[in-house]
Structure 1
Amino acid sequence: MILVTGATGTIGTEVVRLLAERGERVRAMTRNPQGASLPAEVVRGDFDDRDSLDSAVAGVDAVFMLDAPGPWIERHDLAMLDAVQSHGVARAVKLSAIGTGEDTGLRAGGWHLPGERALRAGDASWTILRPSSFATNTLHWASMIQAGQPVPNLTGKGAQGVIDPRDIAEVAVVALTTPDHAGRTYTLTGPELLSTPDQVEILRRVLGRSIKIVDVPLGVARAQMIAAGRDPDFADGAMRGQRFIAEGGNARLTGDVASALGRTARTYATWADDHRAAFGQPNA
């Protein structure tokens, strides 16, 4: 039995689907099981409710640890790993973030680092996945593109190794189901460095339509976030991340997807073509 936490999100849903297709017994953990439709045993689990974690972990052989971004990740990771240790779970795979443990000044890496350290120190066989920017992040442009509005660019020409979440899920599945990836930390990127203008240009070609782009100063973006109800401290952290990308801090590529899967990572163009409908275009 394999437990997948965060089972209703972008990565979790795909991991559950792939495991089920392989014939694995899957338990999907979510805080709201009534609304979940997954090919798995769906159970309630809340990282802040130890009894629910004990119930979710009982009898499983492997756990996929996935949590929504935020300062609660450390607390949630340590709670889950305590349950993993208590129940003698043999294998754990953690979804972390690119740059974790590096002196980047970004919060995401700090959120994940305590959990990574605790995972390595525990008895379970472990694998850590540190993905770069998700291709699916650009889905929030879809309504703008369909309305003919310009796509905002907060990162200038700063490029990233944008990765298809399906590749992340596939790496997670092989790490959960085979012993070949134990003790490995994978930095997962796509096959090419892409800036926001690069991604917009790819969408123009794939969708066959004009898409405008507009540079947005970070001060303006911060003010917009706060006006939309975001905490100023959160907005400051988000802007630090955007500045880091703009200055080339996340311009890295690795071959770790190929090392784990035996094939190259999917391109952003492939992802975009497969998600044409989300941008209002019929599939080719």
Structure 2
Amino acid sequence: MILITGATGTIGSHVARLLTEQGVPFRAMSRRAQPGGVQADFDDPASLARAVAGVDAVFLVTVPPVPTAAHDLALLEAARAAGVRKIVKLSAIGSGETFDGATVGAWHVDAERAIEAGGFAWTVLRPPSFASNLLRFAPLIRAGEPLPNLAGDSRQAVIDPRDVAAVAVAALTGDAHDGRRYDLSGPELLTFADQAAILEGVLARPVDVTDVPTLDQVPAAMATGVAWARAGGAAYLTDHVPRILGRPAGTFEQWAHDHREAFTNPRE
């Protein structure tokens, strides 16, 4: 039995889909009641105990309003008490790097260390920017408004979230990836303007960007990671996705084609 936290989110929903396709039993955890899922809250230890009961492996995704390891640590405590064997954690690229005197992704690093110290089999996934991040700008695109660019001219190996989920499933359902940290990447380095230009070609309509010169809009707890990436820290490729999945990583252009309707049709 596999527990998926964040089962309705960007990666968790794809993990659930893939496990369903493979016939692997899983339990989907979310804060709100979902058909066939388990309702639990990271701030409610009793609910976490119910969620991990009888579970062998956990896909751990936490997205607290303010970045903190507290939610990860709460789940790990419940998992250890329940005898969970494996944790696959969704972290972020650059976690542990030092930039301008601060640690990138410090809360992820704290959680990763706790996983190692907890006696679990573990795998840590550290992807860069998701292709799906552009979905938040769909209303602006439909309205013909420019997209705010916080990344400047920096490049990242933008990744299709479906690839992150596929790697997660490989780690959850086998032991070949135990004890590994993977910096996952897409197949090409792209600036934010590059992504907009590709999307413009797919949609056959203008997609403009406007630079945001300061990081005032970024929450303080995330500013170090954004500044690190903006300075070029995330501008590198890895072969982890093709090596693990046995196929090339998906391109941003292919993702854009597959999600074209999300940018052209208002959601109900």
Instruction: Please confirm whether the aligned pair reaches a TM-score higher than 0.5, indicating the same fold.
Output: yes
Give the C-alpha shift of residue 244 in structure 1. 2.8
Give the C-alpha shift of residue 236 in structure 1. 4.1
Give the C-alpha shift of residue 156 in structure 1. 2.1
Unaligned segments of structure 1, at least 5 residues: 226-233
Q: Is the 8 A contact 1:70 1:111 kept in 2?
A: no
- Residues matched between the structures, number: 265
Match for residue 228 of structure 1?
none
In the superposition, relative to structure 1, how do residues 186 and 8 fare at CA in structure 2: closer, same or farther (>3 Å)? Answer: same
Give the C-alpha shift of residue 70 in structure 1. 4.8
2:121 counterpart of 1:121: no
2:135 counterpart of 1:139: yes
Mapped to 1, the partners of 2:70 and 2:165 lie a distance apart of 24
Match for residue 92 of structure 2?
97
Match for residue 17 of structure 1?
17
Q: Is the 8 A contact 2:88 2:125 kept in 1?
A: yes
Choose which of 257, 264, 268 in structure 2 pairs with 1:280. 264
Amino acid at match of 1:208: A
Choose which of 53, 62, 65 in structure 1 pairs with 2:60. 65
Choose which of 43, 52, 59 in structure 1 pairs with 2:47. 52
Mapped to 1, the partners of 2:220 and 2:119 lie a distance apart of 38
Structure 1 residues 114-145: Cα deviation after superposition (integer angstroms, max 9, x where no partner): 11011112222111111111111111221111
Q: Is the 8 A contact 1:92 1:124 kept in 2?
A: yes
Choose which of 162, 170, 177 in structure 1 pairs with 2:173. 177
CA RMSD of aligned residues (A): 2.0
Give the C-alpha shift of residue 245 in structure 1. 2.7
Q: Is the 8 A contact 1:107 1:237 kept in 2?
A: no
Q: Is the 8 A contact 1:11 1:166 kept in 2?
A: yes
Mapped to 2, the partners of 1:118 and 1:167 lie a distance apart of 26
Listed as ranges, the matches of 1:201-216 within 5 Å are 201-216=197-212
Amino acid at match of 1:47: F
TM-score (norm 2): 0.92
In the superposition, relative to structure 1, how do residues 108 and 54 fare at CA in structure 2: closer, same or farther (>3 Å)? Answer: farther
Match for residue 83 of structure 2?
88
Mapped to 2, the partners of 1:161 and 1:93 lie a distance apart of 22
Amino acid at match of 1:65: L
Match for residue 4 of structure 2?
4
In the superposition, relative to structure 1, how do residues 55 and 169 fare at CA in structure 2: closer, same or farther (>3 Å)? Answer: same
In the superposition, relative to structure 1, how do residues 108 and 137 fare at CA in structure 2: closer, same or farther (>3 Å)? Answer: farther
Q: Is the 8 A contact 1:97 1:108 kept in 2?
A: no
TM-score (norm 1): 0.87
Q: Is the 8 A contact 1:69 1:108 kept in 2?
A: no
In the superposition, relative to structure 1, how do residues 109 and 53 fare at CA in structure 2: closer, same or farther (>3 Å)? Answer: same
2:253 counterpart of 1:258: no
Secondary structure of 1:181's partner?
coil
4+ residue runs over 6 A deviation: none
Structure 1 residues 229-283: Cα deviation after superposition (integer angstroms, max 9, x where no partner): xxxxx644555444333321221211111122111210100100101001107xx
Secondary structure of 1:56's partner?
helix
Which has the larger share of helix?
1
2:216 counterpart of 1:246: no
Q: Is the 8 A contact 1:167 1:265 kept in 2?
A: yes
Amino acid at match of 1:2: I
Amino acid at match of 2:79: V
2:246 counterpart of 1:217: no
Identity %: 51
Mapped to 2, the partners of 1:165 and 1:45 lie a distance apart of 24
Mapped to 2, the partners of 1:239 and 1:80 lie a distance apart of 26
Q: Is the 8 A contact 2:2 2:55 kept in 1?
A: yes
Match for residue 126 of structure 2?
130
